[in-house]
């Protein structure tokens, strides 16, 4: 089995590396500095869009849920 660069880094450092996504849930006119945040409905909508390509799961090495890409 071929090791990925992330696998090699894990072996060398003991740290766990994986693919990740980052997004901003703020829409036009929303700004945390002005205390204008997305609603719960807007956040749910964003997560539903992301979930089409990424699934929520628990990693063995993480106590918190993480999004995982499904090929």
Q: What range defines the domain where residue 49 resides?
A: 21-69
Residue with the bigger pLDDT between 68 and 14: it is: 14
Percent residues over pLDDT 90 in the chain: 21
Residue 3 lies inside a defined structural domain of this protein = no
Task: Give phi and psi for 58, each to the nearest 5.
Answer: -100, 130
Please tell me the distance from the alpha carbon of residue 6 to that of residue 42, in angstroms, as a whole number.
34
Residue 12 lies inside a defined structural domain of this protein = no
Please tell me the distance from the alpha carbon of residue 48 to that of residue 44, in angstroms, as a whole number.
6
H or E segment to which residue 8 belongs: helix 5-13
Residue-wise pLDDT for 17-50, tens only, equals: 666 777 778 999 999 999 999 998 998 888 888 8
- Given a cut of 90, whether residue 60 has pLDDT beyond it is no
Tell me what pLDDT residue 30 has: 95
Residue 42 lies inside a defined structural domain of this protein = yes
Long-range CB contacts for residues 42-45, cutoff 8 Å, separation at least 24: none
Residue 45 lies inside a defined structural domain of this protein = yes
- Given a cut of 80, whether residue 1 has pLDDT beyond it is no
Cβ within 8 Å of residue 6, ≥6 positions away: 17, 18
């Amino acid at each position: 089995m071929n090791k990925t660069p992330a696998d090699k880094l894990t072996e060398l450092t003991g740290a766990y590396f994986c693919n990740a996504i980052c997004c901003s849930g703020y829409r036009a006119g929303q700004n945390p500095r002005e205390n204008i945040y997305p609603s719960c409905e807007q956040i749910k909508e964003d997560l539903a869009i992301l979930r089409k390509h990424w699934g929520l799961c628990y990693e063995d090495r993480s106590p918190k849920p993480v999004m995982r890409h499904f090929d």
